[in-house]
A and B are shown apart, each in its own frame.
Chain A
């Protein structure tokens, strides 16, 4: 394949990656923005989403398309419920003290991951795509489902954006983000806002996983990479800034896809992790965020 089509393929792959990454990262960013909680278990919510998608599509006697749609609804809801429980029984009881919550979410990470190992097992299992359709380009064929993923991620993100800016619940969340104590004085039930935010963040990760699972297989260790990448995105985008997160997801998703085509993925990851560390040290407001 000559260079032009090769680059086009890289850009396509990068766009798919960016779309899924944006969903996962916005979830992480939302939780940090509203609750000031760094959720190290975020990748495990993603993994849970993928595994639940496998369970749903495997056990529901529906045709693939319908089963997958069911998974897209059921998996995020179940994961959201688990997250809300984790918030109520663990994070809330720590008063959201930043360092204690990180340690606790590390603990949750291990617990969720190992529970998945016990229940789901160590194998990677595929989930059938809701439809098979290839777009034939002059140089290569490309999966239509992958393009659908980009569109679906866009729709979900737009829905989140509408929810945050137009709905009362979104307004309440943003009010709590700006000033927790004042929000409480105005009669906002901060406990419920926090549980809801944590659930929403986890649900977004789970939704991202249901989108990706027909492309990658479901595995109990699959949460590591999304966690690392969404950390990178959220930090470079500016902690807690949704807009910065989206821009960063696009840039990193695309560049990661393209760089991985030409360089060793390990080298790309080394550079990315060092970049995150240096951004936090020298430009804590992120590369794309406004100065706090």
Chain B
């Protein structure tokens, strides 16, 4: 079996299993899985920037929220149809990532983290400030009538799962293709040694900006889909929590692996879900997981697996 066959069969196999899960899982868990798939798309986008290109951003909530509002505002204020609204949400994520990138990529490391954090914070505050249109902290509900695409009502569990799966599958195939492409190799080169890559003829600023925009498009798509599938848009999705979440998923599943973000999202989602049954302080788990991961397993689950058993894992 060639490496390529091995890689594609693994990833398509995972997709097939996830798709089949809707016939097995009870409704509560199927809805959870739909939610996890959309969050995993967000985390895959984060992984393109952080895991592959080495851009540790603390501002991805901004691009995620751009998807929510890029989709939700045209529907709420201008009565747009859901499909163009989704596309606008996706574009909004990419455009904001581009704008932030043009400025933030003039810095690196810790400064890059703080600059992205500050831009995201400014974005969140702007959403609060413009509460006449955005609904501020309370947000707004996306009209159920606007959540029907070609007769398929996205507020129904079955349709919602299929729609979430469609996005998830497209995102994963896209990510796999990207990281195995020549451009994906250059992204990794930026992460590993920027100066050397420059002396191989690559413009670090341009490569990182493209990676960040791609990452923002993923985040925007995930945000737009989340808002449409679950019918709610709110400023809470722009808080720092939603910048930390994809980072946590990626760190747990394995930074720089295609399946890592999904694996991390599944595990973390259920960890939080289970603990929040016992205590209000469920975010303690998130904190402990972050500290534990950076201390004891900075490569995450699949990163460790790749190192020991499967060097071919993309």
Q: Which of B84-119 contact A (CB under 8 A)?
A: 103-104, 106-107, 109-111, 113-115, 118-119
| B287: min CB distance to chain A, Å | 3
Q: Is B286's CB within 8 Å of the partner chain A?
A: yes
Residue count of chain B within 8 Å CB distance of chain A? 40
Residue of A nearest to B247 (CB): A103
| B103 pairs with A281, CB closer than 8 A | yes
- Tell me if B's interface is mostly helix, strand, loop or mixed: helix
A-side residues, CB < 8 A to B, are 38, 90, 93-94, 98-100, 102-104, 106-115, 117-118, 122, 228, 231, 235, 264, 266-267, 269-270, 273-274, 276-278, 280-282, 284
Separation of A134 and B285 alpha carbons in the complex (Å): 46
Instruction: Kindly list chain A residues whose C-beta atoms are within 8 Å of the C-beta of B115.
Output: 277, 280-281
| A104 pairs with B288, CB closer than 8 A | no
| A238: min CB distance to chain B, Å | 13
Separation of A277 and B123 alpha carbons in the complex (Å): 12
| B291 pairs with A104, CB closer than 8 A | yes
| B190: min CB distance to chain A, Å | 15
| B294 pairs with A273, CB closer than 8 A | no
| B159: min CB distance to chain A, Å | 35
What 1/0 mask marks residues of chain B from 267 to 294 whose CB sits below 8 Å from any chain A CB? 0000000000001111110111111111
Instruction: Kindly list chain A residues whose C-beta atoms are within 8 Å of the C-beta of B282.
Output: 114
Most buried by B among A103, A104, A270: A103
Q: Which of B284-310 contact A (CB under 8 A)?
A: 284, 286-295, 298
| B67: min CB distance to chain A, Å | 21
Instruction: Kindly list chain B residues whose C-beta atoms are within 8 Å of the C-beta of A100.
Output: 294, 298
| B110 pairs with A278, CB closer than 8 A | no
Residue of B nearest to A270 (CB): B125
Partner of B294, one of A103, A269, A270: A103
| B46: min CB distance to chain A, Å | 13
- The 13 listed contacts between A and B (C-beta, < 8 Å) are A38-B110, A38-B114, A90-B295, A93-B295, A108-B291, A110-B290, A264-B129, A270-B122, A273-B118, A273-B121, A273-B125, A276-B118, A280-B107
